[in-house]
Every structure is written in structure tokens, then in C-alpha cells.
């Protein structure tokens, strides 16, 4: 969906913004030399677009959604977050590669297309789908476990080293919400299950960011060009490791740990970016 989530919508209207909420399947393009604005005419005067969902679909559907966003950006419309950012974060392989290239701590990861019959696992690993969120369809693999009959979603094996001990009674990680390359707030997610996602039943609590977390999240945000985002981090042997980067995060769970109005902060930063974009024209 291109548009604004309900509370963001309300906050923008309070700031006297005209808000248009539109679904991807409402978009229609008409490429004609007579008119260089090819999408729905009601989008013609839009100054900024806040992307809140991509959703599942065929390869063709997802590619076309992202193409529309790419083309809108070429028309100098500010997009929060643009397609080039979504593409770097929605695909775990690309996210991990970008982190690795930029020397950001991330768990050792193995990626293989097709079968991995003879792979020897030196550590415990998590088999994750390269597309997906909310901790779904993740499989724990023990050290030295046979991979002979292992199957992966989409036939892509994304094996991320499990940092921790599966015998632990409590598992935890950290979600940091950033906006305009600054961390807004952070929460710790903890569970008796190794999947520490709030939507999978994990508990949450507010934490204060230390200097290392601030520096790490600012760096990651700049690397990926995030307008806003959620950065998932784990602390292992006194080092921080980035697990994933989410460019279309929900902030419902983290708001429950905070007294500050996160939506207000995000909307103000969004409007600031829209203004800067207009000034460049």
C-alpha cells in the first residue's frame, strides 16, 4: 500500500496536510509522450509518499510495485522509504551482503541455491526464508546435523549462525527504531523460544542505548539510506551483531514500551524530508 498508517494519517491531518491513502492495485499507468506523469492523476500533485506495505505477490507484481516507486522517485517525488532502500532490506541475502561489504558485524551466514546435501554444520544455524518477517518459517539446525533432506522456501538456503546457546532458558535480542539516521528508541525482546519476535509472543521492555548501539545504528541507517527503519541486533560475547534491517517496520510493539509519541517523531521527520526535497527542485 502506498499511503499512511491510521495514526500517521491522523497526525499528518492535524498538521494540516492533505493525505491520500491508496493501494497498489488502485494504481494504473499510462505511458504517453504527451504527458510525462504516467500514474493516476490524483497522485500528480503529491509531494511525498510514505510506503507502509509491499505485501506478497507474484514476482511480476512485486517488481511492478517497486518499479512504480522507482519511477516516482525519478519524477522527484520524495518517497519514505524508496524502492532502492526496500530492495536492500527486504532480501536477507542482499542485506547480509551489504553489511559484510561495509564491515558491520553480522552473524556468519551461508547462502546456497539448490541442494546442500553434503554441507557440514560447524555451528548451530537458523534456516530463514530470504523474504519474510515476524519470525515466521525459521528452523533451528544443530551443529553437525544432517542437511541431506533439508528443504528451503524458494529453494534458497539462507543459513545464519545462531549466536547463543539453545539450552538457555531465555533468549533475547534488540530492536532499535531509527529515523533520519538517529535512533529514536530501543526495546529488548525476550522469550523462552529462540524466536524473539513480538508477533510470535515475545515480551518486550524499554532499554537505553549505549554509545556503541547509537554509533552502530546510525552507521547502518546511513549505509542503507533509511528514512526510517527497524534494526534488529543481538549481543553475543560482548559484541553487537546486526541480524536484520527492516525498512517498513511496525512501531506498535515498541510504542508500548515508550512514553514519547513515536508517530509524532516519525511524521515530523517525514515532513522535514519532504520539505528538503522540494527545496532542491
In a domain, 102, yes or no: no
**141 and 74 share a domain?**
no
CATH, residue 195 = 3.30.470.20
In a domain, 211, yes or no: yes
**44 and 118 share a domain?**
no
**52-110: pLDDT as tens digits:** 888 778 889 999 999 999 999 998 899 999 999 999 999 999 999 999 999 999 999 99
In a domain, 34, yes or no: yes
User: Whole domain around residue 144: which residue ranges?
Assistant: 109-161
**55 and 133 share a domain?**
no
* pLDDT, average across residues 165-180: 94
**117 and 178 share a domain?**
no
**79 and 19 share a domain?**
yes
What is the reported pLDDT for 281? Answer: 67
**60 and 82 share a domain?**
yes
34 three-state secondary structure:
coil
Residue ending a domain, choose from 123, 145, 161? 161
Query: What are the backbone angles phi and psi of residue 18, rounded to the nearest 5°?
Result: -85, 125
Render the burial of 40-63: b for 16+ CB within 10 Å, e for the rest: eeebeebebbbbbebeeeeeeebe
Per DSSP (E only), the strands in the chain are 48-50, 78-80, 109-113, 125-128, 139-141, 156-161, 171-179, 182-191, 203-207, 228-236, 239-246
Report percent pLDDT > 70 for the chain.
95
Which residues, 6+ apart, have CB-to-CB distance to 175 below 8 Å? 186, 187, 189, 230, 231, 232, 233, 253, 254
Report the alpha-carbon distance of residue 270 to residue 180 in Å, rounded.
Answer: 8
In a domain, 50, yes or no: yes
* pLDDT, average across residues 4-13: 66
Report the range of poorest mean pLDDT among 45-49, 51-55, 132-136, 155-159: 132-136
Q: Which three cell numbers stand for residue 67?
A: 518499479
In a domain, 98, yes or no: no
**217-259: pLDDT as tens digits:** 999 999 999 999 999 999 999 999 999 999 999 999 999 999 9
**193 and 230 share a domain?**
yes
pLDDT band, very low/low/confident/very high, at 7 (cuts 50, 70, 90): low
**181 and 238 share a domain?**
yes
Report the range of poorest mean pLDDT among 127-131, 181-185, 193-197: 193-197
In a domain, 93, yes or no: no
pTM: 0.91
Q: What is the residue-averaged pLDDT of the chain?
A: 89
**174 and 248 share a domain?**
yes
In a domain, 175, yes or no: yes
Between the alpha carbon of residue 229 and those of residues 89, 184, 246, the distances in Å are 10, 10, 6
**117 and 171 share a domain?**
no
Count structural domains, the chain: 3
DSSP string, 124-139: -EEEE-SS--TTTT-E
**73 and 115 share a domain?**
no
In a domain, 92, yes or no: no
- Strand arrangement, sheet containing 109-113: 109-113, 156-161, 125-128, 139-141
Which residues, 6+ apart, have CB-to-CB distance to 115 below 8 Å? none
**67 and 14 share a domain?**
yes
pLDDT band, very low/low/confident/very high, at 4 (cuts 50, 70, 90): very low
Residue ending a domain, choose from 87, 121, 142? 87
Which residues, 6+ apart, have CB-to-CB distance to 74 below 8 Å? none
Report the alpha-carbon distance of residue 40 to residue 21 in Å, rounded.
Answer: 13
How distant is the alpha carbon of residue 51 from its chain centre? 12
Residue ending a domain, choose from 87, 117, 133? 87
Q: What length is written for the chain?
A: 281
Amino acid at each position: 500500500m502506498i499511503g499512511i498508517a491510521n495514526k500517521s494519517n491522523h497526525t499528518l491531518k492535524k498538521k494540516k496536510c492533505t493525505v491520500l491513502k491508496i493501494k497498489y492495485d488502485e494504481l494504473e499507468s499510462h505511458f504517453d509522450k504527451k504527458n510525462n506523469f504516467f500514474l493516476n492523476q490524483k497522485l500528480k500533485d503529491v509531494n511525498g509518499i510514505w510506503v507502509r506495505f509491499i505485501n506478497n505477490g507474484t514476482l511480476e507484481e512485486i517488481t511492478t510495485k517497486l518499479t512504480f516507486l522507482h519511477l516516482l522517485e525519478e519524477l522527484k517525488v520524495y518517497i519514505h522509504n524508496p524502492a532502492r532502500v526496500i530492495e536492500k532490506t527486504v532480501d536477507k541475502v542482499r542485506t547480509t551482503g551489504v553489511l559484510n561489504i561495509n564491515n558491520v558485524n553480522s552473524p556468519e551466514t551461508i547462502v546456497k541455491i539448490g541442494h546442500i546435501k553434503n554441507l557440514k554444520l560447524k555451528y548451530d544455524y537458523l534456516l530463514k526464508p530470504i523474504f519474510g518477517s515476524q519470525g515466521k518459517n525459521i528452523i533451528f539446525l544443530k551443529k553437525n546435523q544432517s542437511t541431506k533432506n533439508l528443504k528451503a522456501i524458494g529453494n534458497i538456503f539462507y543459513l545464519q549462525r545462531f549466536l547463543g546457546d539453545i539450552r538457555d532458558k531465555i533468549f533475547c535480542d534488540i530492536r532499535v527504531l531509527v529515523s533520519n539516521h538517529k535512533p529514536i528508541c530501543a526495546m529488548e525482546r525476550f522469550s523462552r523460544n529462540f524466536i524473539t519476535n513480538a508477533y510470535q509472543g515475545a515480551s518486550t521492555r524499554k532499554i537505553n542505548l549505549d554509545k556503541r548501539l547509537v554509533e552502530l545504528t546510525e552507521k547502518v541507517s546511513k549505509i542503507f539510506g533509511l528514512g526510517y527503519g527497524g534494526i534488529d541486533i543481538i549481543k553475543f560475547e560482548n559484541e553487537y551483531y546486526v541480524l536484520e534491517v527492516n525498512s517498513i517496520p511496525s512501531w506498535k510493539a515498541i510504542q508500548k514500551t515508550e512514553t514519547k509519541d513515536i508517530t509524532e517523531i516519525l511524521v515530523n521527520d517525514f515532513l522535514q524530508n519532504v520539505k528538503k526535497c522540494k527545496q532542491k527542485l
